[in-house]
């Protein structure tokens, strides 16, 4: 199952020869379940694959939003250094939680989320992914509620807190240690700046959706009033207004449609882009943690070594104990170093993947945006143009 990482493959279609491994997932069919406050949406998750570990070729399970959250959190824990694809936000204004548009937006975002995982060369191998895509609903529910408890306290943090307390006291400084890597600094700065730009762009994209809706409404109202005016004036002018009104109303519908398209095909991809950047920030934080741990453990180990040597020299009976401790600490330190270095390597790979993927994603989003606008403009032009000969005829009569 070696897929070259340089190829950002989204989906290999099941149509390709069966020797080619593929994993294709879709999130569909949102259905409202439950009552009142406990009501929620469930989704059908369809997996088509020829991966040997999977029950193939097709498996369908029912999942809800918190299951996706479970998957995301587990991946985030296990694959430090990899930019975990992001899920849509939890918070939703109560009023809109079950609006058709919101449901569709969320479904689309979840579909993209799972697919991004399925097409990531490392993440697709994840056991948690397999669990998510395959196990029965009851098992899933058990896992979800079980794990949500533990995940509040991450084991790494516990050790880290302990260690940092010790070394801070020993070293007499509270200042957090940071890498001095100019290239990495540049990257961090880039990521933080990028988030600002993208957030602003997404904000304006959202406003643009709203504007389309408003224009649609204005056209509808205008059309209605024009028709009424046309009705009370019987001569040519009346006819003219009636026709104008009818066209306005028709165009109003087109505008509402375009608003919806814009939302799904332009605003959401931008939002997804923002979330992806935020995921990178989370990885940056993880890397900083790992770096700190590595440094602190290295320091502590060194101190322990010095102490050990001293004890040995003094032929103290504490030396044996100290040696054991030292060996443990050294192992931990090496592990921490390895962890950190893995993250660095992964991040470097991930950045390339991210940039390439985003160029494709945004390219598509831009294309859909432009297409939608062109389509709308054509519709508007056609509609109004068809009115002109009628108005001409009215003027002559």
Residues forming contacts to another protein in the complex (CB under 8 A) are: 186, 190, 193-194, 197-198, 200-201, 204-205, 207-208, 211-212, 214-215, 217-219, 221-222, 224-226, 228-229, 231-233, 235-237, 240-241, 244, 352, 355-356, 358-360, 362-364, 366-371, 373-374, 377-378, 380-381, 384-385, 387-388, 391-392, 394-395
Q: Which is nearer to another protein, 43 or 241 (CB)?
A: 241
Catalogue the E-assigned strands of the chain.
23-33, 40-49, 58-64
Task: Please tell me the distance from the alpha carbon of residue 64 to that of residue 40, in angstroms, as a whole number.
Answer: 8
The answer to whether 223 and 199 are in contact (CB under 8 A) is no
Where on the phi/psi map is residue 36: left (φ > 0), alpha (ψ -120 to 50), or beta?
left
Least distance (Å) between residue 59 CB and another protein: 25
Task: Please tell me the distance from the alpha carbon of residue 187 to that of residue 196, in angstroms, as a whole number.
Answer: 15
**Mutual orientation of helices 65-78 and 127-134 as an angle, nearest 10°?**
170
**Mutual orientation of helices 182-232 and 236-262 as an angle, nearest 10°?**
160
Q: Which is nearer to another protein, 232 or 313 (CB)?
A: 232
Half-sphere exposure of 342 (CA within 13 A, CB side): 13
Task: Please tell me the distance from the alpha carbon of residue 325 to that of residue 321, in angstroms, as a whole number.
Answer: 6
Q: Write down how long the chain is.
A: 397
The three-state (H, E, C) secondary structure of 83-95, written as one string:
CCCCCCCCCCCHH
Least distance (Å) between residue 272 CB and another protein: 15
Q: Which is nearer to another protein, 199 or 342 (CB)?
A: 199
The answer to whether 335 and 71 are in contact (CB under 8 A) is no
Least distance (Å) between residue 378 CB and another protein: 5
Least distance (Å) between residue 217 CB and another protein: 8
Q: Which is nearer to another protein, 2 or 382 (CB)?
A: 382
Q: How many CB atoms lie within 10 A of CB 106?
A: 22
Least distance (Å) between residue 283 CB and another protein: 17
Q: Which is nearer to another protein, 193 or 341 (CB)?
A: 193
Q: Which is nearer to another protein, 176 or 363 (CB)?
A: 363
Least distance (Å) between residue 197 CB and another protein: 5
Q: Which is nearer to another protein, 136 or 214 (CB)?
A: 214
Least distance (Å) between residue 186 CB and another protein: 8
């Amino acid at each position: 199952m070696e897929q070259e990482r340089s190829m950002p493959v989204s989906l290999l279609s099941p149509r390709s020869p069966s020797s080619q491994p593929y994993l294709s997932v879709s999130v569909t069919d949102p259905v409202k379940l439950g009552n009142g406050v406990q009501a929620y949406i469930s989704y059908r998750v369809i997996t088509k694959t020829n991966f040997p570990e999977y029950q193939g070729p097709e498996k369908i399970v029912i999942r809800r939003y918190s299951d996706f959250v479970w998957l995301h959190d587990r991946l985030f824990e296990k694959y430090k250094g990899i930019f975990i694809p992001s899920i849509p936000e939890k918070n939703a204004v109560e009023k809109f939680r079950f609006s058709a548009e919101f449901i569709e937006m969320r479904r689309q975002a979840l579909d993209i989320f799972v697919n991004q995982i399925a097409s990531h060369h490392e993440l697709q191998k994840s056991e948690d992914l397999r669990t998510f895509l395959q196990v029965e609903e009851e098992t899933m529910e058990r896992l979800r509620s079980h794990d949500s408890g533990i995940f509040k306290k991450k084991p790494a943090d516990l050790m880290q807190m302990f260690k940092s307390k010790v070394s801070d006291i020993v070293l007499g400084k509270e200042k957090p240690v940071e890498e001095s890597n100019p290239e990495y600094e540049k990257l961090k700065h880039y990521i933080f700046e990028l988030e600002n730009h993208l957030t602003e762009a997404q904000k304006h994209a959202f406003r643009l959706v709203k504007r389309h809706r408003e224009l649609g409404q204005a056209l509808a109202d205008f059309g209605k009033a024009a028709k009424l005016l046309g009705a009370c004036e019987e001569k040519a002018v009346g006819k003219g207004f009636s026709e104008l009104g009818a066209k306005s109303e028709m165009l109003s519908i087109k505008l509402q449609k375009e608003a919806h398209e814009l939302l799904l095909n332009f605003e959401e991809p931008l939002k997804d882009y923002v979330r992806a950047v935020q995921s990178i920030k989370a990885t940056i934080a993880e890397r900083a943690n790992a770096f700190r741990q590595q440094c602190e453990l290295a320091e502590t180990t060194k101190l322990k070594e010095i102490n050990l040597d001293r004890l040995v020299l003094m032929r103290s009976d504490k030396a044996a104990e100290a040696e054991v401790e030292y060996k443990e600490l050294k192992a931990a330190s090496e592990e921490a170093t390895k962890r950190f270095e893995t993250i660095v390597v992964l991040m470097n790979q991930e950045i390339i993947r991210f940039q390439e993927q985003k160029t494709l994603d945004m390219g598509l989003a831009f294309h859909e945006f432009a297409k939608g606008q062109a389509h709308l403009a054509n519709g508007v032009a056609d509609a109004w143009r068809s009115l002109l000969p009628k108005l001409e005829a009215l003027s002559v009569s």
